[in-house]
Amino acid sequence: MGKRLYVGNLPFSQNDQTMEILFAEFGSVEFAKVITIKNSGRSKGFGFVEMSTEEEAQKAIEKMNDREIEGRKLVVNEAKPLERNDNREPG
């Protein structure tokens, strides 16, 4: 299992700092990033957290997956590596 976690179904009020605080309960957070829309800066409702160790990451998944935050149940699991799509058409 990797140390990088996918965090989905985030409340739109969450930002990098609040997500880091949320996950710090389970260990040392290397980084926390809420993905935003470039033009508006508005959250897309998901992000990524990287924990210092595999054990911390597993504990965060166990405790945070399905946890309700501001009326939304979070989806927390191991982040999958980004797959390169060479079949895309240019432009």
**What pLDDT digit, counting tens, does each position of 15-43 carry?**
999 999 999 999 999 999 999 999 998 99
Nearest to 53 by CA among 5, 11, 89: 5
Q: Does domain 4-78 have CATH number 1.10.8.10?
A: no
Question: Is the model's pLDDT at 1 over the cut of 60?
Answer: no
Domain ranges of the chain: 4-78
Q: pTM here?
A: 0.86
Do residues 44 and 37 make contact, with C-beta atoms less than 8 angstroms apart? yes
Indicate the burial class of 24 (C-beta count within 10 angstroms; 0-12, 13-18, 19 or more).
middle
